[in-house]
Structure 1
Amino acid sequence: MHRRTPIGHRDAATAMEALNSLTAIAPLLLRNLVTSAFIFADKSFLSLAEKYRLLELLRYLVLSSFLFFLSFLPSLFPSSATPEARRRRRPRAAPPHSAACDSGIARALSQLLAIVNNVPVSSRKYEAVRSLAERLIDENQQEGTEALLEVNRTVLSAAFSRTLSQLEAAMVERSGSAAAGPNRVLRAIRSVQDVARRGRAWWSSEEPTRLGSSAEKLAAELVWLAQKLVACGSAEDAVCSWASASNLAWLAISAEPRLQGSLVKVSAFLFKQAKDMGLDEIDESKKEQQRQTRMKMLMSWLPLLCRASNGTDAPVLSLSERAELERVLEQTIEMLGQEEEQEEVLSQWLHHFMYCPSSDWPNLHASYTRWCAASRKLLLLQ
């Protein structure tokens, strides 16, 4: 095994990634913090306002001003407010503004995939619009021309990133709502936010409404979009987005079992793609980038696999699927190549594996033993 690169460079890269993630989630955290503080203050003020007319008018004025401020809060963070801004942080294989991506068929597919996010599963129109989107994707793929293949890759990648952002926002909002509890002010705030979203997103796919976009629904759609991306030859886009979703992975550990189950399925599917990614690559810089992506995948999503594989009524994955994924994880850890990175991953696994009494999977004891033997040899060679 090779010695690791200087820690200072990796720490700087890690700090930059953490800063980017913090910037991306800042509007959501700030909104929930401000909302919770306002609700607490309003509860104390409400009893007095009901007794005195002047105080009631003052309360109404403050509430209106607060709602107005809340509707403009996302605009204070323009660099992280849209999924497009997140996509620009990492390199893409295809040019983002080619003629194919600006075509009518690309816009039609983008709109259909945005509507899939927005329409509730209970609606009779949900399956119709999703089937139409699948039909367009399949027809583009069957044509086989580079322009239509590029449409599929670019639009599906954008849809995956957008759905990922919406899911993270839905989970943050849900955790904030659980802390604040339901009341009239919170319902009024959400009503104003929904109206604002509908006004901004009349038909655009850039900032869709969140009607019907429950966390469970969005997670299920991520599974579907990931499968479509891989079928269209864009597995790397999905893997890179998933590997970078460290905030979502952290939120997933304490999510509801049904939601965790969908996220385990996405993780299992994309871990397989990450292992096979770039096996024939000869460009050293590209190989290094893929190694870093695998490292982020392992560090972000191994804790969820340790803690959420049982499901509510039945295991999320079958016995054969579990065994296969264990082999994939072992091979992926071996592909890191650097002893200290393997140590980080295996230490992360051991912590969550041992402190989760309800699960004994994934069992990476063999990888841990191999790493210990290699580390011992390295020490003796020194």
Structure 2
Amino acid sequence: MEKPKNQSPMLFSYAPIASLLFSKLPLLTHLVPADKSSPLNLSDLYLNLSDRYKLLQLLRAAIALALFCLHLLVSTFLSIVLTRPDSVEFDENRPSQEIGIGRALTQLLSLVADVPVSSRKYQLLRGLAENLMDDNVREGNGEVNRTALGLAFSKTIYRLEVAESERGTESHELGGFGERVIARVYNRAVRYARDSVGSKEGSRLSCESAEKLAAELLWLSRKLADCGGVDEAVLRWGSSSNFARLALSAEPRLQEWLVRVSVFLFKHAKETDDTEENESQDGKKMKMLMSWLPLLCRASNGTDTPVVSMIEKAEMETVLEEMIGEMNILKQEKVLALWLYHFTSCPNSDWPNLQACYAHWYAKSRKIELVK
């Protein structure tokens, strides 16, 4: 028997079976064609269902309403979380001179972020900001530096995150239909959140501008370390899990700078602060690992030269192994499972190699199971 021309082979071969099944259902008997010899047309069945019962139409409307509610909920949340920090609050108990210095430094750092590197004013502004910070350190006003630098660091991450969200880069990583729908809803919510606070920052950033901001993140991190405020950068960087996810599909040159920032902050995250509880330290380290370990696995080679030197790679592997080894067995499993997935998913990179750490965790876990 010759197959209909406009029918796919699979649909044709299973149509009699589908027709038989539907004919056995009392409520759907009248929806099946009277001519049993004709194959079941699923599109006609869909139209019949839609016209007669409106069930699918109602279901579609319910899904659309649910997505709209999700959009509204995420938009409201992000309008709070991603609101651009326009000003910084300095301790009013401090002398007014220090408050004025803090505001001046904040303005300078904001201008450094806005002015392109190609401008001859860029080096002037950055040099002036560095002179102010050096003077503050010498005069014992490191807190002023930490406050202004912390604001600039958060603001720069915000701009990059919004720009990457608008680019929709996460859709390249997500494969499922549901994940793509959620990604689109999230992107629209981010744009809504940005527009609701009247902020144009982060939108339509060129690759060069994004690289420049990422390079400034490294500069700000180093300045925070100089004035004893690197913990602020570690906490903020580790909490930027969504930005870290977007970074996996960012432009390669942008990724290179983000890897450099991550390496620098991982080294400082390893340094334990005795004034904080161990649980708080573990939380910071866990966030850093879960957020940025995937990027280390995928973007360490660089476009022209390796982002991280061989010596730095060896040092970083030691740092990562020590950080993971200090955690409880369940947290180690979570981190190492994440590492293994991204390490094996990227054929162009063999770093960081945590096989020894993985083997140690596995042996320890096996001993625990044997004891049980």
TM range (shorter): 0.5 to 0.7
Instruction: Measure, in 2, the Cα distance between the counterparts of 1:96 and 1:344.
Output: 40
Q: Could you tell me whether the CA contact under 8 Å between 1:252 and 1:304 is conserved in 2? A: yes
Q: Secondary structure of 1:255's match? A: coil
In structure 1, the residue matched to 2:52 is none
In structure 1, the residue matched to 2:112 is 116
Q: 1:332 pairs with 323, 331, 355, which one? A: 323
Deviations 1:73-129 (A, max 9, x none): x999652342449x9xxxxxx986653697110000000000111111111111110
Instruction: Measure, in 2, the Cα distance between the counterparts of 1:210 and 1:141.
Output: 35
Equivalent residues in 2 for 1:115-134, closer than 5 Å = 115-134=111-130
In structure 2, the residue matched to 1:220 is 215
How many percent of aligned residue pairs carry the same amino acid? Answer: 51
Instruction: Measure, in 1, the Cα distance between the counterparts of 2:77 and 2:361.
Output: 47
Equivalent residues in 2 for 1:226-375, closer than 5 Å = 226-278=221-273, 280-281=274-275, 286-336=277-327, 338-375=328-365
TM-score w.r.t. structure 1 length? 0.65
Q: Could you tell me whether the CA contact under 8 Å between 1:152 and 1:232 is conserved in 2? A: yes
Instruction: Measure, in 1, the Cα distance between the counterparts of 2:364 and 2:248.
Output: 31
Deviations 1:160-182 (A, max 9, x none): 11111111112122337x99xxx
Q: Could you tell me whether the CA contact under 8 Å between 2:247 and 2:295 is conserved in 1? A: yes
TM-score w.r.t. structure 2 length? 0.67
Q: Could you tell me whether the CA contact under 8 Å between 2:321 and 2:357 is conserved in 1? A: yes
Query: Any unmatched runs of 5+ in structure 2?
Result: 1-74, 173-190
1:139 lines up with 2:139 in the alignment: no
Instruction: Measure, in 2, the Cα distance between the counterparts of 1:359 and 1:254.
Output: 15
Give the counterpart letter for 1:368 in structure 2: Y
Give the counterpart letter for 1:374 in structure 2: K
Q: Could you tell me whether the CA contact under 8 Å between 1:75 and 1:81 is conserved in 2? A: no
In structure 1, the residue matched to 2:8 is none
Q: Could you tell me whether the CA contact under 8 Å between 2:224 and 2:230 is conserved in 1? A: yes
Instruction: Measure, in 1, the Cα distance between the counterparts of 2:94 and 2:298.
Output: 45
Relative distance call for 1:97 and 1:321 in structure 2 (3 A) is farther
Calculate the aligned-residue CA RMSD, in Å. Answer: 3.1
Instruction: Measure, in 2, the Cα distance between the counterparts of 1:209 and 1:105.
Output: 27
1:149 lines up with 2:142 in the alignment: yes
Instruction: Measure, in 1, the Cα distance between the counterparts of 2:163 and 2:148.
Output: 22
**What is the total number of aligned residue pairs between the two structures?**
274
Give the counterpart letter for 2:120 in structure 1: R
In structure 1, the residue matched to 2:168 is 175
Per-residue deviation at 1:256?
A: 1.2
Instruction: Measure, in 1, the Cα distance between the counterparts of 2:82 and 2:218.
Output: 24
Instruction: Measure, in 2, the Cα distance between the counterparts of 1:329 and 1:98.
Output: 41
Instruction: Measure, in 2, the Cα distance between the counterparts of 1:308 and 1:208.
Output: 26
Instruction: Measure, in 2, the Cα distance between the counterparts of 1:210 and 1:132.
Output: 28
Per-residue deviation at 1:235?
A: 1.2
Query: Any unmatched runs of 5+ in structure 1?
Result: 1-73, 88-93, 180-192, 202-206
In structure 1, the residue matched to 2:51 is none
Instruction: Measure, in 2, the Cα distance between the counterparts of 1:372 and 1:289.
Output: 26
Larger Rg: 2
